[in-house]
Chain A
C-alpha cells in the first residue's frame, strides 16, 4: 500500500515493469487487490467460523433444552432418550470444576518449581535440553495419557488412597472404599501431569525474561538465591504464572479422552473425592455419544455449549492478564 499513489488517470502498466511503475501505478494494483482480498477473506472466514460455532451450538442447545423435562442446570441425571428425557449438567459441572481444581492445586506449584529449576537452579548445560524435553512432552497426545492413566496410574494409586483413607478418612473428602481408583481425584492427578508441560513452559519463558538488572539489584544487597527469586523473579513473573495457570486450566476443563479412559462415571455426587464416580462435560459427551439418538446428541451439544462458554471465560481472563502485563512491562522498561 505504501507504493500506491492516487494518480489514477494513467493506464495501469503490466505488473512486471520495473522502477517507474511506482509513480504511474493505479491506486491499488490488481495483484495487490487480489492478495489483500484473499488474506482479509481468510481473517473474515475465521470470524465466520467462530460465529457459526456459537450460533449452531446455541441453536441445537435450544432444541435440547426446550425438550428437557427437568431443569438443565440442576438435575443430577443424564437420561436424554425416551419420551420424557430428563438431563442436567449439575454433576458434570461439579466434576469438571473439582477435577480441574485438583489439577491446578497439584500442577501449578510443581510447574513453577520446574520452571524455576530450569531458569535458575539447573546447571546451564542441563537447562536448555530440559526446556526442550518439556516442550516435547507438551506434544504427547492426550489419549496416551489416558491409556497410561487407566492401565498404569490407576492400579498404582490404590495403595496411596487406602493410606490417605487411614489417616485422613475422617475428613470425608478422603474416604476411600476398595474399588479401583478411577475417581475424580485420579482424574485431577492425571490432568495435573498433562498440563504440567504447558504451564511450565509458559512460566519458564516469563522467568527467563526477568531483567538481569533486577536480579543483580537483589544480589548486590546480599540476597541468597531464594531471596533473589522472591524479591525480583516472582514479583515480575506473577502475572505470567497466573496466565500460564489459566491456560492450563482451560486445557484441563476441556480434556476429553484422558478423563473418559480413567474415570468410572456415575451421576451421583459423593463427598469423597477418592471413590469412583462423577463426570465431566467432555467425558460425558464422549461416553454417551455412541448410545445417543438425534435428540440425545442435541442434549450433549447443549452441555458442550456450557463447556465452550466456561473455557472462553477462562481463556479470555488469561489473555486479559497477559495483555495487561505487556502494557505494564512496556511502561516500566
Chain B
C-alpha cells in the first residue's frame, strides 16, 4: 500500500522563475516526513511536484526525477491523472465540493474510478470516514452538504475523501493552518494512525507540529527573496530538533530567523 519516494535533481519553475533548485531526497514508506522552512522556501511547491499538481499552475514546469518505488512520475507516457489518483493530497484550506453532500464528497474519487455500486460505495465511504475519525460525528447526516461542517470536520472530510481511493502516498499541505488548536490536535492524532497505512508527507509552518507528528524532517531554505529554495538537510526528526548538522537549521529551529 505505501511506497517509497525517491527524488533526484528536481527543480521547479513558475514561468522563468526558478522556485526550487536541484532537490534530492528519499521519503520512507509508512512514515511521516515533515517539510519545514521559512515562507517562500518552496516547500509547498516541492510537495506539489510529488503528485504533478505543480504543472497545473499556469507556467508551472518541472525538471528532474521523482521515483515512486521504481517508476518515474515524470517519465514519458505517465499519465498525470493516474499519478494524482495514486498520490493523494490534502490542502491548506479545507475544500470539500460545496455542492455535494458529505457522502458524495467521500465517494467522488471512487465514482471517478468507476465504482458505482451503492453497497460498495457505502462500505468504502464508511471505512474512509472511520479512518478519518469523522464517522461518529457525521453518520446521521451523510446527505447534508459538506460545507455545513466545522473547519476541522471539513478537513477530516477532505482526508476521508483522499484516502477513499486508497492512494499510495498522502501529501498534506499545511493541513492545520486554518484550524483551531482542538481540531489541529484531532488531525495530528489522525496522522499518527494513518501512517500505519500510507506514506505521509506534510508541509507545516508549525515546528512543534513537525516535532510531534513526523519521523523525519526536511528543512528548506532560500538564500534571499527571489532566489530558488533549496533543501538544507533531511534527517530523523529527533536529530533535526536536537542536534542538526547544519547551522542554518539550528538558527531556524531556535527562532533566530524565519
Asked if chains A and B come from one complex, the reply is yes
Chain B interface: which size bin? 20 to 34
- B81 touches A (CB below 8 Å): yes
Q: How far is the CA of A221 from the CA of B89 in the complex (A)?
A: 8
> Do the beta carbons of B53 and A216 come within 8 Å of each other?
yes
Most B Cβ at <10 Å: residue of A216, A217, A224: A217
Q: How far is the CA of A226 from the CA of B56 in the complex (A)?
A: 14
When the two chains form the complex, which single residue of A217, A235, A236 contacts B96, counting CB atoms closer than 8 Å?
A217
Q: Give, as a whole number of angstroms, the nearest-CB distance from A129 to chain B.
A: 16
A222-B81 contact, Cβ under 8 Å, with A217-B158, A235-B99 = yes
Q: How far is the CA of A222 from the CA of B80 in the complex (A)?
A: 8
5 extra A-B contacts, CB within 8 A, seeds A222-B86, A235-B99: A218-B97, A220-B84, A220-B89, A222-B85, A222-B112
> Do the beta carbons of A236 and B56 come within 8 Å of each other?
no
A221-B165 contact, Cβ under 8 Å, with A214-B97, A216-B95, A227-B112 = yes
By a CB distance below 8 angstroms, the chain A residues around B83 are 222
Q: How far is the CA of A213 from the CA of B48 in the complex (A)?
A: 13
Chosen A-B contacts, 13 in total, with CB atoms closer than 8 Å, are: A124-B58, A214-B97, A216-B53, A216-B91, A217-B96, A219-B84, A220-B91, A221-B85, A221-B108, A222-B81, A222-B85, A223-B112, A235-B98
- B76 touches A (CB below 8 Å): no
- A332 touches B (CB below 8 Å): yes
> In the complex, which residue of chain A has the Cβ closest to the Cβ of B56?
A219
> Do the beta carbons of A221 and B162 come within 8 Å of each other?
yes
Q: Give, as a whole number of angstroms, the nearest-CB distance from A109 to chain B.
A: 21
When the two chains form the complex, which single residue of B97, B99, B113 contacts A222, counting CB atoms closer than 8 Å?
B113
> Do the beta carbons of A217 and B91 come within 8 Å of each other?
yes
A213-B84 contact, Cβ under 8 Å, with A221-B112, A222-B112, A222-B113 = no
1/0 contact string of A314-333 vs chain B (CB within 8 Å):
00000000000000000010
By a CB distance below 8 angstroms, the chain A residues around B93 are 213
> Do the beta carbons of B82 and A222 come within 8 Å of each other?
yes
- A232 touches B (CB below 8 Å): yes
> Do the beta carbons of A217 and B165 come within 8 Å of each other?
no
> Do the beta carbons of A219 and B53 come within 8 Å of each other?
yes
A222-B53 contact, Cβ under 8 Å, with A217-B91, A332-B147 = no
A236-B82 contact, Cβ under 8 Å, with A216-B53, A216-B91, A219-B53 = no
> In the complex, which residue of chain B has the Cβ closest to the Cβ of A223?
B112
By a CB distance below 8 angstroms, the chain B residues around A232 are 97
- A231 touches B (CB below 8 Å): yes
By a CB distance below 8 angstroms, the chain B residues around A236 are 98-99
1/0 contact string of A98-128 vs chain B (CB within 8 Å):
0000000000000000000000000010000
> By the criterion of a CB under 8 Å from any partner CB, how many residues of chain A are at the interface?
19
Chain A stretch 174-228: residues in CB contact (< 8 A) with chain B:
211, 213-214, 216-224, 227
Chain B stretch 71-110: residues in CB contact (< 8 A) with chain A:
81-86, 88-89, 91, 93, 95-100, 108-109
Q: How far is the CA of A327 from the CA of B116 in the complex (A)?
A: 34
A217-B95 contact, Cβ under 8 Å, with A222-B84, A222-B165 = yes
- B51 touches A (CB below 8 Å): yes
Most A Cβ at <10 Å: residue of B89, B96, B98, B158: B98
> In the complex, which residue of chain B has the Cβ closest to the Cβ of A222?
B85
> Do the beta carbons of B53 and A220 come within 8 Å of each other?
yes
Q: How far is the CA of A217 from the CA of B56 in the complex (A)?
A: 12
Most B Cβ at <10 Å: residue of A218, A221, A227: A221
Most A Cβ at <10 Å: residue of B81, B83, B100, B113: B81
Q: Give, as a whole number of angstroms, the nearest-CB distance from B50 to chain A.
A: 11
Q: Give, as a whole number of angstroms, the nearest-CB distance from A63 to chain B.
A: 52
> In the complex, which residue of chain B has the Cβ closest to the Cβ of A333?
B98
> Do the beta carbons of B88 and A220 come within 8 Å of each other?
yes
Q: Give, as a whole number of angstroms, the nearest-CB distance from B87 to chain A.
A: 9
- B43 touches A (CB below 8 Å): no
> Do the beta carbons of B95 and A214 come within 8 Å of each other?
yes
